[in-house]
Structure 1
Amino acid sequence: MTRILIADDEPRIASFITKGLTAAGFTTTSVEDGIRALDYGSSGEFDLLILDIGMPRMDGLALLQALRAMKCTVPVIVLTAKDSLQDTLAALDGGADDYMTKPFRFEELLSRIRLRLRDTPGAQGAPDPTSGDIALDVDLRSARIGGRTVPLSAREFAMARAFLENEGRLLSREQLLSRVWGYDFDGSSNVVDVYVGYLRNKLGPERFLSVRGAGYRYVAVPAAPSQPQFR
């Protein structure tokens, strides 16, 4: 199981990331100050670190420099409200593998996490979601279904992944908004209904069931058995 350390002193954001990564199949640990983050991050028990810059006791840049000075090679994605070029360069020059600014969309963070884990020798991220006769391809941003490839927009893909990773579970509109559009999205929940309609058109209406007043549930369709080959 891939383990991810979240170092952020904002409980709302740490909780948001934790819920999303847990649903995606990762194991997470969250810490709220730089000293604990350094202790945990250098332990060798984690496959990736999500790091905020502005933290108590030790800021993220100092923590990053300390980790690299200790020859710790854990991949680090800096996730911060600091968006100046100077801050970005300081983090990357200090040994960060990636840099994202807040507010952010969870789906983008998840994609970057998977990318960094694939680039790390000996480490593997959670596999591309597969459910019944549908397999998603993260790199091509498409769905493979019934022997054909169906291209998906970024938001369609994000929603399809949320459904496949929660097969059979009820997902509320609020949960889907959070997963696909980000925790700070302030638009109408009607956008969820619109995109569920897009997925029904592309992947089949029987897979995405409406639960009145509650949300949607994805139901997998079994893959067709392979046909025997005769010579």
Structure 2
Amino acid sequence: MTKILVIDDEPDLVKFVKRALETDGYQVLTTTNGFDGIRLALTERPDLVVLDLIMPGVNGEAVLSALMAQDPGLRVLILSATGDVQLRISCLEQGAVDFLAKPFAVRELIARVRSRLRETATMRRRDTLQVGNIVLDLQARQLLVDGKPTVLSQREFLLLLHLMRNANAVCTRQELLSEVWGYDFDPATNVVDVCIGRLRAKLRPDLIVTVRNVGYQLQSA
């Protein structure tokens, strides 16, 4: 059974979310503090973590940072009332796969959970992607360039994954912001360009082409 871990310091909200997710057929683990959240995430290996940010003691941002450092493949959906756009951006850049603001509609939460779990299942069904001389191992989250392993950050992995799945097609900046960073708005930052620059340094620089005023294209040859 698919396992989800909910980390939030509001007991009533935790019960509400747990009941909604269990009704949808998931096994749900819960905790109301960040310290236990880290422990459970690393020992129970859930398929998805639903994480609040504003918590006493070890806050959600610290939990996310610890989880990404120890298990960068772990998928984390942020569920928070914070209105701090920069904090939202920071969490997505650190490796969170989605961000849902409180208050929220339970149907939207369920839809986002299903969507993120479908992504996980898709990656598990297909172990590798190859475009030209680059191979992306979806299980190990490792990049091979001419057979040599190269380390990727969580965000670099997701960006390259999207580009490889759409090889030779032009991916717009807004598309990449939505699919890779989870933004439904333009945060007016250069996060895409910076991440593309890091990927180019790990691939052949000419493999990712800039399409002026549109986006980027990963070329297969």
TM-score (norm 2): 0.53
Contact kept in structure 1, 2:92 and 2:98, CA below 8 Å: yes
Other-structure match for 2:7: 7
Specify the SS of the correspondent of 1:69. helix
After TM superposition, the structure 1 = structure 2 runs for residues 22-41 of structure 1, keeping only pairs within 5 Å, are 22-41=22-41
Q: Which amino acid aligns with 1:54?
A: I
Other-structure match for 1:62: 62
1:51 aligned onto 2:51? yes
Aligned counterpart for 1:122 among listed residues 121, 124, 133: 124
Structure 1 residue 6: Cα displacement = 0.3
Q: Distance in 1 between matches of 2:30 and 2:44?
A: 16
Kindly indicate which of the two structures has a greater share of residues assigned to helix: 2
1:82 aligned onto 2:82? yes
Structure 1 residue 56: Cα displacement = 2.4
Specify the SS of the correspondent of 2:43. coil
Contact kept in structure 1, 2:9 and 2:33, CA below 8 Å: yes
Q: Distance in 1 between matches of 2:67 and 2:54?
A: 17
Structure 1 residue 87: Cα displacement = 1.7
Contact kept in structure 2, 1:61 and 1:94, CA below 8 Å: no
Counting matched residue pairs gives 123
Q: Distance in 1 between matches of 2:94 and 2:8?
A: 18
Q: Which amino acid aligns with 2:124?
A: G
Q: Which amino acid aligns with 1:119?
A: E
Q: RMSD across aligned C-alpha pairs, in angstroms?
A: 1.3
After TM superposition, the structure 1 = structure 2 runs for residues 99-114 of structure 1, keeping only pairs within 5 Å, are 99-114=99-114
- 4+ runs deviating over 6 angstroms: none
Structure 1 residue 90: Cα displacement = 1.3
After TM superposition, the structure 1 = structure 2 runs for residues 1-231 of structure 1, keeping only pairs within 5 Å, are 1-120=1-120, 121-122=123-124
Structure 1 residue 48: Cα displacement = 0.3
Gaps of at least 5 residues in structure 2 are 126-221
Specify the SS of the correspondent of 1:35. helix
User: 72-81 or 26-35: which moved more?
Assistant: 72-81
Q: Distance in 2 between matches of 1:55 and 1:45?
A: 22
Q: Which amino acid aligns with 1:108?
A: E
Other-structure match for 1:126: none
Q: Which amino acid aligns with 1:14?
A: V
Q: Distance in 2 between matches of 1:77 and 1:62?
A: 14
Contact kept in structure 1, 2:72 and 2:95, CA below 8 Å: no
Specify the SS of the correspondent of 1:122. helix
Q: Distance in 1 between matches of 2:124 and 2:36?
A: 26
Structure 1 residue 39: Cα displacement = 0.5
Gaps of at least 5 residues in structure 1 are 124-231
Give a deviation string over 1:26-68, Cα, whole Å, max 9, x none: 0101101000000111125311000000122211111111111
TM-score (norm 1): 0.51
Q: Distance in 1 between matches of 2:26 and 2:13?
A: 17
